Amino acid sequence: MDNYLTLLSFGDQGWGDEIAIGVVTTISLALATLPVGLLIGFLVALAKQSREWSFRTAADIYTTIFRGLPELLTLFLVYFGLQIGIQQLFQTLGVEAGVEINAFLAGVIALAFVFSAYASEVFLSAFRAISNGQYEGGYALGLHRNQVMRLVILPQLIRIALPGLSNLWMILLKDTALVSAIGLTDILRQTGIAARNTKEAFLFFGLAALLYLVLALLSSVVIGRVEAAGKRGETVR
Amino acid sequence: MTALQERLEASERPPALPRTWTGERIAGNLVLAFWLVAGVLMVWYLVEAWAPEKVERYGPKYISGLLTTLSLVGLSLVIGAALSIPVAIGRMSKNKLISRIAFAYVYVFRGTPLIAQLFLIYYGLGSFRPQLEAVGLWGFFREAWNCAVFSFALNTAAYQAEILRGAVESVPKGQWEGAAALGLNRVQTLYKIILPQALIVALRPYGNEIILMIKGSAIVALATVYDLMGETRRAYSRTYDFQTYIWAAIFYLVIVETLRNVWSVVEARLTRHLQR
């Protein structure tokens, strides 16, 4: 028992500090991905309900690709693809430079692709839940198209989309574990290193699973608060 | 509306406006053109990079990887489906202890990444080697393949249990009461009245779960199982040729899209009595 406590302690003897770094990386990766993914997802949802056939088709291709590819493969495609692509670009430009893509950036891009593909579907169904009268009322008041979107539609849209989006946040949190495969020091990577060095694999991978569970639990508390805040305007029936 | 009225209205309708080049239309065409160029570039790249000796060497490996992926997913889904039944029953049980245990199972397996579960079982159970050897299970858990099937089955059982529970609970209570009034016992009610209605509701989520498993199974490559992803990684580490990953992407997209379309045909066929 003392042995385990030493292993988990912070400092030279234990792995606590290394794993804490992993927790920070995982959380910051998920938090960095969220706004990017939400923005792209919203834009794709707008494109999906456009009157233009070309917009709709382009958006459908986007979701088909990023919902159909395994997340791990998307990650590798982005990580190695960007590296090779930039190297090729440098070669054609005649620049001699070794390129190393930041794993964190590659993780954010890949996870944002996946997140936004799913988020666009959530936004789309939320858009469909808002009646046309809301737009018409907005136009009748003389609001501009952008104003209608910002002042009338978005506040309702967010409330309707929130349950779906919080689901996607939980999935995102779990998907961040994949970045350990490209060497980013997240929870799983750090616990994996600890497991290899101490031969206590069950302890450390169990700890990793526990940490993800705690993160999920914390998020559901926060999401519950946000949902309550979103509902405070609704009348009690 | 009579035919005359229809023709009258058609004749009075003003002519359609000519399609103008709005900003939206231009942007839409640009985005679509981007995909088109990307697609053409990809095909051109693949044609350019086509190397018969590589195809000869790695082609069969991709096929065997594909079969590994499919059998892994198929096996885990079937075992998971069997496991999900007691879990779903436990979730719906009136006994607080049983329903809490079932809830904890579902929460743990849905709240942690599949890859962490796989590592916990594949690498973690090595910590208990003496104990496992004592009960004669070490031979089973030593193989990466068995660990993968084991962890995937446990994982998908949690998801499938929730699908099953949601579907059974979506059937109105009056169906149970009606069956009871007809004198059917609980088992008969379940098989003849509830499940036929519940499984139709569950069709779509089951389809999604299959697709999620196919995509999720790619992580076994990180635990030394040579599935489609594993073969891809091996081919890449030997050739440093990026087309290995492109081919994997094509394989996965084709499987997922085929499955999605087949599933929606099956769903349409099975729910044809509900369509108006």
Cβ neighbours of B48 in A, within 8 Å: none
B228 in Cβ contact with B253 (< 8 Å): no
pTM: 0.89
Q: Average model confidence (pLDDT) for chain B?
A: 91
Tell me which residue range forms the domain holding A54.
Answer: 15-228
Q: Return the number of other C-beta atoms located less than 10 Å from residue A21's C-beta.
A: 15
CA–CA gap between residue B157 and residue A40 (Å, rounded): 33
Instruction: Give the B window 22-51 contacts with A, CB below 8 Å.
Output: 24-25, 27-29, 31-32, 34-35
Domains by residue range for chain B, with CATH: 65-274 (1.10.3720.10)
Give the closest residue to B123 by CA, choosing from B50, B236, B224: B224
Residue A101 is predicted with a pLDDT of: 79
CA–CA gap between residue B111 and residue A177 (Å, rounded): 12
CATH number at residue A223: 1.10.3720.10
Cα nearest neighbour of A177 on chain B: B113
User: A147 — contact with chain B (CB < 8 Å)?
Assistant: no
The pLDDT tens digits for B58-70 are: 899 999 999 999 9
Could you tell me if residue A9 is inside a domain?
A: no
Q: Return the number of other C-beta atoms located less than 10 Å from residue A211's C-beta.
A: 21
Q: Which of B17, B20, B22, B32 to mutate to test the interface with A (most CBs of A within 10 A)?
A: B32
Residue A209 is predicted with a pLDDT of: 94
Residue B24 is predicted with a pLDDT of: 84
Residue B224: what are its φ and ψ, rounded to 5°? 60, 25
What is the number of structural domains in chain A? 1
Of B35, B117, B229, the CB nearest to A58: B35
> Are A72 and B35 inside 8 Å of each other by CB?
no
Start-to-end C-alpha separation, chain A: 55
Could you tell me if residue A233 is inside a domain?
A: no
Cα nearest neighbour of B254 on chain A: A68
Residue A1 is predicted with a pLDDT of: 60
Could you tell me if residue A4 is inside a domain?
A: no
Could you tell me if residue A38 is inside a domain?
A: yes
The pLDDT tens digits for A8-47 are: 777 777 788 889 999 999 999 999 999 999 999 999 999 9
User: A170 — contact with chain B (CB < 8 Å)?
Assistant: yes
Q: Which is more confident, B14 or B234? A: B234
Q: Which is more confident, B18 or A186? A: A186
Structure tokens at A168: 């996607």
Q: Mark A121-147 as b/e (b = at least 16 C-beta within 10 Å).
A: bbbbebbeeeeeeebeebeeeebeeee
Q: Is 80 exceeded by the pLDDT of residue A236?
A: no
User: B257 — contact with chain A (CB < 8 Å)?
Assistant: yes
CA–CA gap between residue A120 and residue A102 (Å, rounded): 27
Could you tell me if residue A8 is inside a domain?
A: no
Q: Is 90 exceeded by the pLDDT of residue A106?
A: yes
Give the closest residue to A54 by CA, choosing from B2, B26, B165, B184: B26
Residue B1 is predicted with a pLDDT of: 55
B61 in Cβ contact with B258 (< 8 Å): no
Could you tell me if residue A7 is inside a domain?
A: no
CA–CA gap between residue A161 and residue B208 (Å, rounded): 20
Mean pLDDT for B119-132 is 88
Query: Rounded to 5 degrees, what angle do the CA atoms B223, A105, B231 make?
Result: 30
Could you tell me if residue A61 is inside a domain?
A: yes
Instruction: Give the A window 190-209 contacts with B, CB below 8 Å.
Output: 192, 195, 199-203, 205-206, 208-209
Could you tell me if residue A215 is inside a domain?
A: yes
